């Protein structure tokens, strides 16, 4: 028994070394493929684009600027950069202009006080964007699926309604991966989105178009959804802030595909994506208004009184990239800042169960019934034959992406719902959740990598498919998490970390995000190359 265990251990280490070598080789190969394309972003010349959503809202309701002026600035920016980035997939400019004019007329009438507007309409006249899987009435609702390319939303998602009631104006939809189940935003309906820091790199997924849009400053703020990292990974790759909220505090109404089980509904979260940390809290307040008492978002947070913990790797997940040194160094920087500024000591921890993150996520996503991915790809009207689709893809005739087809082929792999391995991995998830909650309590935060590397080249995720596990595990643990940008790496690509707290302690994550922004600068506009 001992000898067998030793053989398995050596085999695992050997395969991990081989896997790491292959990832290095393919990264080098992709770098050669994309070496000739170095187009830079148009500069941000309009200073309104650099303001936070909170600042714009204040200036609009105090009549220092007009909503219509702000809207036109973002429309001009979309028209300027979208041909290069392909992050916006549908627009409602004319309707938005009418809504902005109504705002300006209301403010000119002075029938409602500034104080009342600030309380009841905190984002009055502020333009925002959201991803093409969260419905906005009258706009496309395809989720990147060809069979839904003519589908038009008949009503707003409840999250969109909440933002409209707060005075915000939706202006555009952004790109996603096919059926929101991959971490590069590319599909056969809208094509591929490109990273504003390097157009040869991915924007992440599934809220990748939204991450790109925020980094490129094409709206004041955005909304994404996250079941395995779909807010936090795009925020990481595009150098912005993104928050996955606690379970059930924001309605998932309208999201397509719909969660199949109550567990999946618990894992899924709709939350804010923005350039400025100060916007996270007020946007989340709007989205979670009915859970105000539970979340205590108005309760002040003193970051010097928090207990800080961190882990800079996943303890050695199989087939997952190692965290690169530049990202590991971020944890040292945060620790030094806390010590120097406040005399606060962060404690390094090592939860070994993180090594099973990917396996735990896949197991906990299993369902006893409900539509399969093959049925989802058929838009719940029959099923697709993935082998036939693979042949058609080779011939350039399939209406599905390669990763969508491969997901169909792989979905029956691994454990089965209810079998021994499934029960084991669910129990491991429960054990890890219990350990983290015991550590965090109501005054602890946990810093953890959002992703092990900066944004890969287009298609490179195919050779490192399980790197999403750093964010995915947090979803199945049911914990709130905020990605915080912390500058650029040696290649000029954004890097950062995620901060995690106990369930319903979202306010701690948001307070830490503001502290990290204050200390390290937050969002950095994409560089302009000569």
Return the active site residues.
131, 206, 230
Residue recorded with tokens 């936090």: 232
Do the bridges between strand 191-192 and strand 186-187 make them parallel or antiparallel, or are there none, so unpaired? antiparallel
Contact of 67 with 57, CB cutoff 8 Å = no
Q: Would you say the C-alpha torsion 516, 519, 525, 526 has a positive or negative sign?
A: negative
Residue partners of 293: CB distance under 8 A and separation at least 6: none
Q: Are strands 221-226 and 127-131 parallel, antiparallel or unpaired?
A: parallel
Helix (H, G, I), strand (E, B) or coil at 131: strand
Cβ(528)–Cβ(256) under 8 Å? no
For 53, other C-beta atoms within 10 Å of its C-beta total 26
Which residues have C-beta within 8 Å of that of residue 12, sequence separation ≥ 6?
318
Distance CA 431, CA 13 (A): 25
273 contacts 231 by C-beta, under 8 angstroms:
yes
Cα distance between residue 314 and residue 317, in whole Å: 6
Tell me which residue has tokens 């006893």.
Answer: 368
**Spatial CB neighbours of 18, under 8 Å, sequence gap ≥ 6:** none
- Specify whether the backbone of 20 is left (phi greater than 0), alpha (psi in -120 to 50) or beta: alpha
Dihedral of CA 316/322/323/328: which sign? Answer: positive
Query: 87-111 burial by CB neighbour count: b if 16+ within 10 A, else e?
Result: bbbbbbeeebbebbeebbebbeeee
Cis upstream peptide for 315 (omega within 30°): no
Indicate the SS3 state at residue 73.
Answer: helix
């Amino acid at each position: 028994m001992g000898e067998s265990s030793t053989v398995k251990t050596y085999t695992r280490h050997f395969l991990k070394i081989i896997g790491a070598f292959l990832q290095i080789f393919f990264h080098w190969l992709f770098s050669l493929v994309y070496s000739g394309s170095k187009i830079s972003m148009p500069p941000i010349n309009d200073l309104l684009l650099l303001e936070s959503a909170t600042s714009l809202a204040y200036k609009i309701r105090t009549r220092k600027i007009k909503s219509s002026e702000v809207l036109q600035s973002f429309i001009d920016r979309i028209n300027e950069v979208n041909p290069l980035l392909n992050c916006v997939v549908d627009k409602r400019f004319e309707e938005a202009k009418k809504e902005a004019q109504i705002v300006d007329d209301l403010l000119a009438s002075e029938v409602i006080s500034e104080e009342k507007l600030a309380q009841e309409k905190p984002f009055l006249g502020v333009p925002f964007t959201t991803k093409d899987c969260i419905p906005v009435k009258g706009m496309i609702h395809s989720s990147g699926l060809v069979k839904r390319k003519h589908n038009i939303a008949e009503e707003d998602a409840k999250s969109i309604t909440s933002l409209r009631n707060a005075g915000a104006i939706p202006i555009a939809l952004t790109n996603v991966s096919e059926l929101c189940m991959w971490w590069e935003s590319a599909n056969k309906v809208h094509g591929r989105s490109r990273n504003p820091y390097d157009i040869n790199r991915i924007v992440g997924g599934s809220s990748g178009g939204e991450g790109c849009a925020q980094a490129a400053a094409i709206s004041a703020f955005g909304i994404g959804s996250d079941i395995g990292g779909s807010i936090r990974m795009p925020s990481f790759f595009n150098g912005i802030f993104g928050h996955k909220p606690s379970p059930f505090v924001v309605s998932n109404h309208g999201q397509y595909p719909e969660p199949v089980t109550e567990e999946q509904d618990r894992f899924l979260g709709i939350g804010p994506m923005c350039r400025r940390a100060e916007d996270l809290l007020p946007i989340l307040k709007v989205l979670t208004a009915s859970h105000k008492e539970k979340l205590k978002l108005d309760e002040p947070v003193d970051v010097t009184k928090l207990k800080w913990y961190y882990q800079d790797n996943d303890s050695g997940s199989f087939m997952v990239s190692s965290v690169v040194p530049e990202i590991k160094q971020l944890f040292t920087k945060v620790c030094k800042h806390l010590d120097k500024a406040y005399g606060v000591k962060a404690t390094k921890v090592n939860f070994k169960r993180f090594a099973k993150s990917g396996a735990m996520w896949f197991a906990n996503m299993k369902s006893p019934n409900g539509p399969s991915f093959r049925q989802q790809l058929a838009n719940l009207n029959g099923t697709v034959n993935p082998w036939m689709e693979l042949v058609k893809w080779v011939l350039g005739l399939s209406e599905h992406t390669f990763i969508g087809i491969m997901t169909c082929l792989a979905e029956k792999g691994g454990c089965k719902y209810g079998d021994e391995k499934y029960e084991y991995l669910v129990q491991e998830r429960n054990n890890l959740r219990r350990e983290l909650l015991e550590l965090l309590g109501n005054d602890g935060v946990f810093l953890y990598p959002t992703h092990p590397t900066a944004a890969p080249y287009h298609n490179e995720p195919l050779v490192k498919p399980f790197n999403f596990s750093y964010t995915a595990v947090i979803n199945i643990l049911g914990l709130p998490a905020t990605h915080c940008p912390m500058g650029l790496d040696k290649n000029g690509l954004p890097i950062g970390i995620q901060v995690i707290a106990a369930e319903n302690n979202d306010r701690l994550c948001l307070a830490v995000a503001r502290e990290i922004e204050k200390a390290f600068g937050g969002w950095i506009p994409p560089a302009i190359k000569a």
